[in-house]
Amino acid sequence: MRKKPDTIFLGVLLIVFICIFSAAAADENSSTGKYRLVWNDDPMTTVTIAWDQLRGNNPVVYYGQKDFGRDWMKYPNSQKPTRIVPNYRGMNNTFAKLKELQPDRAYYFIIRDSESMSRRFWFRTAPARPKPFTFICGGDTKSSGTAHEAGILSNKMVARLRPLFVIFDGDYCSGNGTSAERWQLWLNDWANFTIAKDGRIFPLLPVHGNHEDGDKSVLNKLFNVPYQNKDDENIFYSVSFGHKFFHFIALNSQVNPEGLQRKWLERDLESHKKFKYIFAAYHKPFRPHTGRKPNKDFQYEQWAPLFFKYGLDIALEGDSHMSKITFPVRPSNEPGSSEGFIRDDKNGTMFIGEGSWGATPRPSDDDKPWTLRSGSFNQIKWIQVFPEMNGNPSHIDIRTVITATRNKEGKLVSHIEDVPALSEGREFIVPANIDLYAPPPYGAVITYPFVEKVSRRETY
């Protein structure tokens, strides 16, 4: 007997329902969770996959360059955990370091253990030659209220903009960084909202902030972040890629900036001085752009001369909970300087920040003569890096993406709802409806090296 068309339709609908339900159930019932990826070594050939082992045992990451979905037996490579930090902040923090990867490739993976299998994720390795790429940087999230909600909005922008990697510049949770509940919330938010719908997961470069000071080794235990001099409280490190193209330095404003860290910084800058772009991040700004925060003179004395000596291009700062971009500046006490800096478009470092990923914005009420712009809202910095191409000089485009503001009643207003997700391979396209901070005269895009020209395009 022939089936009626509506019976066939209902049958198909039922199958679709079962598929959707079982996929969701597989994720909810998975014995692993809080997935994150970390760059803590050579990002061209290695990556660390980290997760919380909730139940089960003998987890194995199955991976390869071809997407076999959840058909784990077809993946050509496998990796058991390379480090486990059990019962830390209420989680079994499990790390699998993948090595001998090929640069600039997509890798697909699943995590399988005695009880279940994760969904299929994928990531990209860093390129081994100069090549355009994008990344997102920012910091300062909180664990409750509208500040927590705003952080989720910024997380969602990560998934939509599909950066090669993310720099998180410190202050992850409210308090002193020892609350298990708050870290679990942060890591769940990271996995739930920054991973793209197609399973692409974006590697993280974590930086230590003052709200982690209750345990200065926390980033090592939760992200397997490198430390120096055999002391896991010395969380500062660097990574580079692109054949002398891009070097990133994570400093730590919460341990002594002098002595060991200063020496390490000088050595690191000296050995990477031939890189085209050097980018540093640390939590506490030298010169905060909100009046409520004090200057960090000692940190400035230790690091600013080295930044200038070695031509540091851009420094990311956090902590203040507002937005700023400075003109390129160099340390100076000559006439015309202010708070130890003077504008130097040719040889200076551009300072960007200052940490309002989620934390409630503070007033931007402490601009300097060398401040390019500041503002008070939730934001992340979206950076596009271009090598010399087709006769165009290499440069870095910096955009400030507003993710949330508050209305007069203090209610959170999302600025991301109508922003469509970029599709794979179109990471340089500016999506419709994105809210870019674009006050005159320079418009939405601030380019480094900085050239004084007034933008005709102030908004998109």
**Contact residues: Fe ion, CB under 5 A:** 171, 209-210, 319
Please name the amino acid found at residue 134: T
Q: Closest distance between Fe ion and the C-beta of residue 217, in Å?
A: 18
Work out whether the CA dihedral 112, 239, 165, 139 comes out positive or negative.
positive
DSSP string, 153-200: HHHHHHHHH--SEEEE-S--SSSSS--HHHHHHHHHHHHHHHS-TT-B
Cα separation of 25 and 22, whole Å?
Answer: 5
Kindly compute the dihedral angle of the four CA atoms of residues 327, 300, 324, 157, in this order, to the nearest 10 degrees: 120
CA distances from 172 to 141, 151, 210, 292, 437 (A): 5, 10, 10, 20, 24
Which tokens belong to 339?
A: 């708070």
Q: Closest distance between Fe ion and the C-beta of residue 209, in Å?
A: 5
Nearest to 399 by CA among 459, 321, 332: 459
At 322, which helix (H) or strand (E)? none
Q: Closest distance between Fe ion and the C-beta of residue 268, in Å?
A: 24
Q: Closest distance between Fe ion and the C-beta of residue 400, in Å?
A: 19
Q: Closest distance between Fe ion and the C-beta of residue 356, in Å?
A: 11
- Alpha-helical runs (H) found in 211-349: 218-223, 259-271, 297-309
Q: Which is nearer to Fe ion, 209 or 443 (CB)?
A: 209
SS3 label, residue 298: helix
Cα separation of 203 and 367, whole Å?
Answer: 33
Nearest to 349 by CA among 280, 265, 408: 280
Q: Which is nearer to Fe ion, 217 or 414 (CB)?
A: 217
Q: Closest distance between Fe ion and the C-beta of residue 414, in Å?
A: 24
Q: Closest distance between Fe ion and the C-beta of residue 294, in Å?
A: 12
Q: Which is nearer to Fe ion, 262 or 321 (CB)?
A: 321
Cα separation of 415 and 436, whole Å?
Answer: 10
At 286, which helix (H) or strand (E)? none
Residue 393: DSSP 8-state = P
Q: Which is nearer to Fe ion, 151 or 328 (CB)?
A: 151
Q: Which is nearer to Fe ion, 113 or 319 (CB)?
A: 319
Q: Closest distance between Fe ion and the C-beta of residue 284, in Å?
A: 7
Q: Which is nearer to Fe ion, 172 or 442 (CB)?
A: 172
Q: Which is nearer to Fe ion, 138 or 209 (CB)?
A: 209
Q: Closest distance between Fe ion and the C-beta of residue 353, in Å?
A: 11
Q: Closest distance between Fe ion and the C-beta of residue 56, in Å?
A: 37
Q: Which is nearer to Fe ion, 217 or 394 (CB)?
A: 217
Residue nearest to Fe ion (CB): 319
Q: Which is nearer to Fe ion, 59 or 139 (CB)?
A: 139
Q: Which is nearer to Fe ion, 293 or 415 (CB)?
A: 293
Beta carbons within 8 Å of 385's beta carbon, 6+ residues apart? 132, 133, 134, 135, 246, 277, 396
At 28, which helix (H) or strand (E)? helix 5-28
Core vs surface per residue 222-256: b (16+ CB within 10 A) or e: bbbbbbbeeebbbbbbbbbbbbebbbbbbbbbbbe
Cα separation of 283 and 254, whole Å?
Answer: 8
